[in-house]
């Protein structure tokens, strides 16, 4: 008995496997003709016969059933796009193991919109945002009726109401009347907005920062009309403040009453102390290392203190910074900083100390930084061996935008800085300087990128010999003109050494393409120079590069050759880090 049962199970398994093999041999090809413009793929994706094309349990009987079902499905979908009188002709045939299901649509005349009646009632009637929505309503008289657009329009009404605090709003009437006799449709929408709720008093939980400072971070005022964008802005301000590890801001819609809606705010502070360390390498700087320490909140007024040091083969620095939130409508932060730096390159040697004050703010969508610093620098460049003391006020604007901060496919950065000093104000020389820098990245296809960058600088100075080397312009190196050594380009003194220039002009064009996995190649050309006259000649270079998207960011290996008569070497460059 056991043997007979086992034999039956084996035969049943073989029969089932044979059925699977036969099913796997069935292939369905679906063809649809006469679909409304742009809707063919949508209609096909809604057919059950398409959804089951790869079903391993398909049989001839089931294919016939799915084919008949497709006619009904098309007849149900076409009215969504205004084709109420469409006729569907179908055909199913088999050639070898291929089933061909074809459907021909005779659309006839579509239903068009005769009238659109949209009414806003309640406080929303006088809201400019609702008025704009009515003026730009997606369904218009004379157009083909589209039920998807109709449903989307209803969602937009509800979404706008929720974003602007009309939490009691509802569509009291929403219908479409279709007359097949004349192929016309009339739309009726009535939205009763109810009252617009206002913000309640903002209550912050007790945390490492005092309530007064938190209120300065908030764009929300008690009694102001509700706006979802204000809630998002508050969350963003708290997240970007640097004091909190996690932030939650929730609108308590279910607790609204008497025209007022409260917010629930939850804040988890960051750890007070932050330590950082880094190692790196660049052909300009050689091996480098950095150490940093930060006290994120010195006191409950949100003051910060940080200190750091950097070491490299061309120089070292030690810096300290004390920052205080100001958060007025015009200024976000003020601070004081100090830095000691020494630098030793083939073109110059310098040792400097700077101390100063600064402010930061956002203006016209740009980051603005204004500062004044006292600089004392001892420098030796070409024939100039000097010590200068300067009091330098400056202002700078910068902006960065990117779809991805690590590997940017679309984005760029732009910065402009203005600085100067005067002998009338505790300075050894008078100068005015402007520096404009930019970089732009544009994707080309799925794997390519076009990258261009440039820098322009100009200095007007009364005594160039007293201008510190840190304020002079040099060219050459990884981020300047590849193929030339770091800061090796510029006007030369009588001793043949580079002295630095009054003007800077540098540019680059590059095409990069990823080939296999995280590896890619690049071709580029750089040009420019540091000069004392705009008529001085420029230098040019061209080269090839290898790109690797490593776990720590993009690594660039470049080899470039100077194209001028004076260029007698090939430069090798390695750069690690984000694009912008």
Helix (H) or strand (E) holding 129: helix 128-135
- Compute the distance between CA of residue 183 and CA of residue 180 in angstroms, rounded to an integer: 5
> What's the Cα-to-Cα distance from 535 to each of 190, 472, 505, 531, rounded to whole Å?
71, 18, 12, 9
Over residues 308-328, the mean pLDDT reads 90
pLDDT digits (tens, 9 = 90+) for 237-283: 899 888 999 999 999 999 999 999 999 999 999 999 999 998 877 78
- Residue 9 pLDDT > 80, yes or no? no
Q: How much is the pLDDT for 132?
A: 92
Q: Are 267 and 281 in contact (CB under 8 A)?
A: no
In the numeric block, which tokens belong to residue 415?
Answer: 């910065």
pLDDT digits (tens, 9 = 90+) for 131-171: 999 989 989 999 999 999 999 999 999 999 999 999 999 99
Over residues 182-201, the mean pLDDT reads 95
pLDDT digits (tens, 9 = 90+) for 520-548: 999 999 999 999 998 899 999 999 999 99
Q: How much is the pLDDT for 568?
A: 67
Q: What is the pTM of this model?
A: 0.71
Over residues 293-318, the mean pLDDT reads 93
- Residue 349 pLDDT > 70, yes or no? yes
């Amino acid at each position: 008995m056991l043997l007979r049962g086992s034999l039956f199970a084996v035969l049943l398994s073989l029969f089932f496997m044979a059925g699977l093999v036969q099913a796997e041999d069935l292939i369905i090809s679906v063809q649809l003709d006469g679909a409304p413009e742009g809707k063919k793929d949508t209609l096909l994706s809604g057919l059950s016969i398409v959804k089951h094309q790869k079903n391993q349990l398909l049989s001839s009987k089931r294919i016939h059933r799915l084919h008949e079902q497709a006619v009904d499905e098309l007849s149900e979908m076409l009215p969504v796009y205004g084709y109420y009188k469409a006729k569907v002709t179908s055909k199913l045939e088999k050639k070898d193991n291929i089933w061909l299901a074809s459907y021909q649509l005779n659309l006839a005349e579509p239903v068009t919109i005769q009238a659109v009646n949209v009414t806003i009632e309640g406080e929303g009637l006088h809201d400019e945002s609702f008025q704009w929505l009515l003026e730009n309503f997606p369904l218009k008289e004379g157009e083909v009726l589209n039920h998807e657009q109709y449903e989307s329009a209803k969602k937009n009404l509800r979404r706008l109401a929720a974003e602007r605090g009309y939490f009691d709003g509802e569509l009291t009437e929403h219908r479409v009347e279709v007359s097949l006799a004349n192929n016309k449709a009339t739309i009726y929408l009535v939205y009763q907005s109810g009252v617009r709720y206002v913000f309640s008093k903002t209550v912050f939980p007790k945390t490492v920062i005092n309530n007064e400072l938190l209120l300065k971070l908030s764009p929300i005022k008690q009694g102001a009309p509700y706006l979802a964008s204000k809630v998002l802005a508050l969350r963003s301000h708290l997240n970007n403040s640097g004091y909190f590890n996690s932030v939650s801001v929730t609108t308590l819609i279910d607790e609204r009453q008497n025209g007022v809606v409260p917010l629930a705010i939850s804040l988890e502070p960051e750890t007070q102390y932050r330590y950082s360390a880094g190692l790196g390498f660049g052909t300009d700087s050689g091996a480098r290392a950095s150490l940093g320490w930060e006290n994120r909140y010195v006191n409950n007024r949100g003051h910060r203190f940080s200190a750091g040091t950097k070491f490299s083969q061309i120089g070292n620095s030690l810096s300290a910074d004390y920052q205080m939130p100001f958060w007025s409508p015009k200024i976000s932060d003020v601070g004081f900083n100090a830095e000691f730096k020494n630098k030793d390159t083939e073109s110059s040697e310098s040792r400097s100390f700077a101390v100063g004050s600064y402010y930061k703010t956002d203006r016209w969508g740009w980051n603005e930084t204004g500062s004044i610093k006292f600089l004392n620098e001892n420098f030796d460049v070409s024939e100039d061996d000097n010590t200068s003391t300067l009091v330098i006020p400056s202002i700078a604007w910068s902006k960065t935008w990117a779809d991805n901060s690590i590997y940017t496919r679309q984005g760029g950065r732009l910065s402009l800085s203005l600085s100067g000093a005067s002998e009338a104000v505790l300075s050894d020389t008078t100068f005015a300087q402007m520096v404009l820098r930019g970089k732009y990245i544009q994707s080309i296809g799925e794997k390519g990128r076009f990258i261009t960058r440039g820098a322009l600088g100009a200095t007007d100075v009364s005594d160039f010999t007293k201008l510190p080397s840190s304020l002079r312009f040099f060219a050459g190196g990884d981020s300047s003109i590849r193929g030339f050594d770091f800061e090796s380009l510029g006007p030369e003194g009588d001793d043949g050494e580079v002295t630095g220039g009054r003007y800077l002009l540098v540019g680059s064009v590059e095409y990069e393409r990823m080939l296999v996995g995280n590896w890619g190649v690049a071709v580029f050309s750089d040009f420019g120079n540091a000069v004392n006259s705009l008529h001085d000649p420029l230098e040019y270079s061209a080269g090839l590069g290898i790109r690797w998207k490593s776990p720590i960011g993009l690594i660039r290996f470049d080899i470039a050759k100077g194209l001028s008569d004076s260029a007698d070497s090939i430069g090798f460059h390695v750069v690690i880090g984000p694009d912008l």
